[in-house]
Amino acid sequence: MSVLARGAIGAPVSRLEAVEKVTGAARYAVEHGADGVAHAVLVGATIARGEVLSVGAERALALRGVRAVLWHGNAPPLHEVSDGELNVLQSPRVAYRGQIVAGVVADTLELARQAADALEVKYAAEEHDVVLRADHPGLYKPEKVNPSFPTDTEDGDFDAEFAASPVRVDCTYETPAFHNNPMEPHATTASWEGERLVLYDSTQGASSVAETVAKAFGLEAGVVRVISPHVGGGFGSKGTPRPHVILAVMAAREVGRPVRLPVTRQQMFQVTGYRTPTIQRLRLGAEPDGRLRAIAHDVIEQTSTVKEFAEQTAVPTRMMYAASARRTTHRLVRLDVPTPSWMRAPGECPGMYALEAAMDELASACGVDPVELRIHNEPELDPETGRRFSSRGLVACLREGAERFGWAGRDPTPGARRDGAWLVGTGVAASTYPARRRPSQARARREADGRYVVGLAAADIGTGARTALAQIAADALEVELDQVRMEVGDSALPRAPLAGGSMGIASWGSAVVKACRELRARMIESPDGPVEVEVDTTPEVEGDEPLARHGFGAQFIEARVNAETGEIRIPRALGVFAVGRIINAKTARSQLIGGMTMGIGMALHEESLIDRAFGDYLNHDLAGYHVPACADIDDLEVAWVSEEDPHVNPMGAKGIGEIGIVGTAAAVTAAVHHATGLRLRRLPLTPEKVLPALADDRP
């Protein structure tokens, strides 16, 4: 697989749409104009389990300007729906609090909200169960974990190797539910034009939304067009269509007008996905020098009663470190809760938190430096598959990070540094994420004026994808960047996979390179006038050599813990990554910093708290669900090591959208242990957890 010559690729280019965004010209899902647009509001269940007996709509419909009330008694039947969460208003059953039980359409958003409040919904409530616990009687083994990994794996005799290991770590780590909170809430504007449907949607994948909606409403392929030029973040929650999209389409057909449906911040905690809470037991058996003999990672998670989703939490443990005996398991329980879904770095994020926290405990037990411990356990081949790595830069990241961070001067003794009331410590953790790509199509053409237009249905969710693709196109065409115009975010363009799994640029960029190279060849045959080509990378992707393809990184954290208040501050953080060729140095730095910031939030702030009595999340807004603010992030820097990998794609690039969050939380907990001597194994490390532990630790 050839790698592009250096040119536009690698340059720190500002986003091509920057002026549009800062001036407000960039339009998002609820900002696209539509003549006679009506407004819809979704109504969520106020019970966590049971049935809707009736929906009294008389008071709502009596309000002037209210156009429709939809509920399971009058909603049109859907056709092919494989996702239970999208089976909107098709049954009286309530599977979780907040599930859509009605939709109201009115001339204004305020009136729609008033009408929603006027509905009289009667229920037959049933006893619900919303709490994940390790001894739950409903635990079962799913057939697979996301997206299609084996549920359990075993290699060697773990029990025998663990029992024979001179040093053993056996610890359980817990993470709470985490909710995606993109800046732009989920929203859809739906407009029927005869039997054709146009959606302005906030999505990570216009092509997949168009296909899913067409199937749900029994439409021919190509009848649905999804337009999404700008998306204000997603973090995985916009990777698949959510129930409000179906309701918006229903409502638009019902009233014969375009309908705009925004999801409120509070409703996002109910109907747009979240990361499952986890209970993870890690067992590591090692020689006194820290070399691993046995690894076991057992995971307990939750799913809903309407759809199974099993996060692949233990999967990274299968390939991260060498050991002669390895075991991983996943177990689920169906609860009366919304369905968990993708959240930035699913699997790797919670799984590597527990694995890397356990590795830090092993380093302490063996008296081995945490950086050197990881280097000691570096595998030559992928331990899971036996395949060689396309490239593996973990050791380079650890070495480079240690030098930049000043790790060599670290006193390994916990609690050795103090600055007044502040206990000071440092920690390290490794990170990894798969370097995937999927088949994609793309179109490239030369205009009459000699400029170039390159288009595909890729999604720019705020990452700078539009700009990076233009850089790739310019290099492949061997022209200046300002001669290329990118068209993205429209399902009418050539089909493209979603922006997720850190595979967007790898997948789309491969198609852009192929299209641009074929265009150049055509231009030789037709040197004058417009020329256009359209390509599909399915043959190339399906023909990829079977290698282990992953990005790697190392995060270094300094933590200050206030011995009097339990407050934790992170004055210094560094991430070093081996992620192939960097396409855009400016936007890459932004993505990696964003990921690490989110990892710090995971460690210290973020936690969705469920109320057992009414079965819903208590802190369902940004006042109660705490994410890092500028004051929480001080000196955070990222860097990358040079890594040439011609095996991943024509650009030699690996995904960077998710690897930054992976490992960061474990580095924070390691730094807190180094500062205090405490092992806190349940996230987040809030003052109410830290302070009592500090008090218990005092003589």
Q: Which pLDDT score, from 0 to 100, does residue 555 have?
A: 98
**Given this chain, do its domains 38-127+183-233+238-271 and 144-178+275-435+546-697 carry the same CATH topology?**
yes
* Domain at 38-127+183-233+238-271: CATH code: 3.30.365.10
Q: What is the pLDDT of residue 35?
A: 85
Ranges under pLDDT 70 in the chain: 1-6, 698-699
Going by the DSSP 8-state scheme, the letter that residue 76 receives in this structure is P
The structure tokens listed for 36 are 């006679």
* Environment class of 64 (CB within 10 Å of its CB; exposed 0-12, middle 13-18, buried 19+): exposed
The CATH class, in words, for 144-178+275-435+546-697 is: alpha beta
Q: What is the pLDDT of residue 413?
A: 96
**Distance between CA atoms of 691 and 646, rounded to whole angstroms?**
50
CATH number of 18-27+447-524: 3.30.365.10
CB-count exposure of residue 203 (10 Å: 0-12, 13-18, 19+): buried
Concerning whether 348 is annotated as a catalytic residue, the answer is no
How is the beta sheet containing 441-446 ordered, strand by strand?
484-487, 452-455, 441-446, 531-536
Set 126, 311, 658, 688: catalytic member: 658
C-alpha–C-alpha distance, residues 47 and 123, integer Å: 8
pLDDT at 1: 59
Rounded distance between C-alpha atoms, residue 372 and residue 167, angstroms: 17
- Structure tokens belonging to residue 639: 């860097």
Segments making up each domain of the chain, as ranges: 18-27+447-524, 38-127+183-233+238-271, 144-178+275-435+546-697
Of 49, 87, 361, which is closest to residue 217 (Cα–Cα)?
A: 87
Separation of alpha carbons 360 and 350, rounded Å: 16
What pLDDT digit, counting tens, does each position of 474-517 carry? 999 999 999 999 999 999 999 999 999 999 999 999 999 999 99
Q: What was the pLDDT predicted at 698?
A: 66
Question: Among candidates 575, 436, 599, which has minimal Cα distance to 507?
Answer: 436
Is cis: bond before 684, omega within 30 of 0? Answer: yes
* CA pair distance 687, 568, nearest whole angstrom: 8
Q: What is the DSSP string of 142-154?
A: -SEETTTEES-EE
DSSP string for 437-473: ----EEEEEE-TTS-EEEE-----SSSSHHHHHHHHH
pTM of the model as a whole: 0.96
Q: What single-letter amino acid sits at 436?
A: R
Interatomic CA distance for residues 438 and 456, integer angstroms: 14
